[in-house]
Amino acid sequence: MILTVTLNTALDITYRVRSLRPHATHRISEVTERPGGKGVNVARVLAALGHEVAVTGFAGGGTGRIVQDRLTATPGVVDALVPIGGATRRTIAVVDERTGDTTQLNEPGPAIAPPEWSAFQEVYEDLLASASAVALCGSLPPGVPVGAYAGLIRTARAAGVPVLLDTSGEPLRRGVAARPDIVKPNSDELAELTGSHEPLRATHAARRRGAHAVVASLGPEGLLAATPEGTWRAAPPGRVHGNPTGAGDSATAGLLAALVEHRPWPERLTRAVALATATVHAPVAGEFDRRTYEELLGRVAVTGEVSAA
């Protein structure tokens, strides 16, 4: 079982409009609702790939009940969210059908009380006992300590469970120092962490700060990985057009699936890039087009070198 942690879960609502214009009234052509937050998106993709996944984090209020109901109805996904007194947030994505651009509106998360954080930590430790890997994803809601991910990484390492960290800012900086197995920042997050805007130099700098391996998302240019086994770049076969929402989470799912299947790094990156690209091509944000994914597996370009050991 793969465990994903989303401390700031959400109900993702997507509106499609013909053309998004400021200061105008819009008629919505389609509305989609689904459980959201980075770790929830990762779990949904992993389940679609055939892996059993448990989702933990927090859920509360009417929105939280909708999230849990939708999770329970998702094959392969186990709902292990911890109840809280506050209401789960909503995120609104407005898709402009004319341009394909997406405008995102994210509510703040609910405040987490100290007893709720303690209850989560107990659930997390119990879930680690049957986990093959864990992904710690997304922002921290108010009330959760800024060093929360660092502590969760150390708990997983003590249990012998490999950890992937996907967050930003101070939680990323503290989390890297706890020595996660994989860190997956985007180029801006990586530059903020290391002070370097040159991706290759920055990935190696992040490794020196404590990460075992660093996989940097370069947007439409694919992924760059610095690992103990070598350094590789993986890129889609052509320019990617579509909605990138959730593409990074699909890449995380690809890395995790290949990790628990003990695949070599070039294959992990191939799967991650193929899934991310197939997500951009999907009609609903955060889903992936399986036919596109399978076609891309043989077309993703991976270059690099193996480290001498």
- What residues are annotated to the active site? 249
Task: Report, in angstroms and rounded to the nearest whole number, the Rg of the chain calculated over CA atoms.
Answer: 19
DSSP code for 85? S
Q: What is the largest CA-CA distance in the chain?
A: 62
Structure-derived torsion over alpha carbons of residues 157, 161, 165, 166, reported in degrees to the nearest 10: -160
Q: How many helices (H) and strands (E) does the chain have?
A: 10, 15
C-alpha–C-alpha distance, residues 90 and 61, integer Å: 12
As beta bridge partners, residue 30 has 16
Residues 137/6, Cβ–Cβ less than 8 Å: yes
Q: Give the span between the Cα atoms of 157 and 170, in whole angstroms.
A: 21
Structure token pair of residue 243: 């909605």
State how far the Cα of 125 lies from the Cα of 254, in Å rounded to an integer: 24
Q: In the chain, which ranges are continuous DSSP H helix? A: 38-48, 61-72, 114-128, 148-158, 169-177, 187-194, 199-208, 247-260, 265-280, 290-296
Q: How many other β-carbons are positioned within 10 Å of the β-carbon of residue 3? A: 26
DSSP 195: S
Q: Which two tokens stand for residue 241?
A: 């057009």
**CA 196, CA 194: separation in Å to the nearest integer?**
5
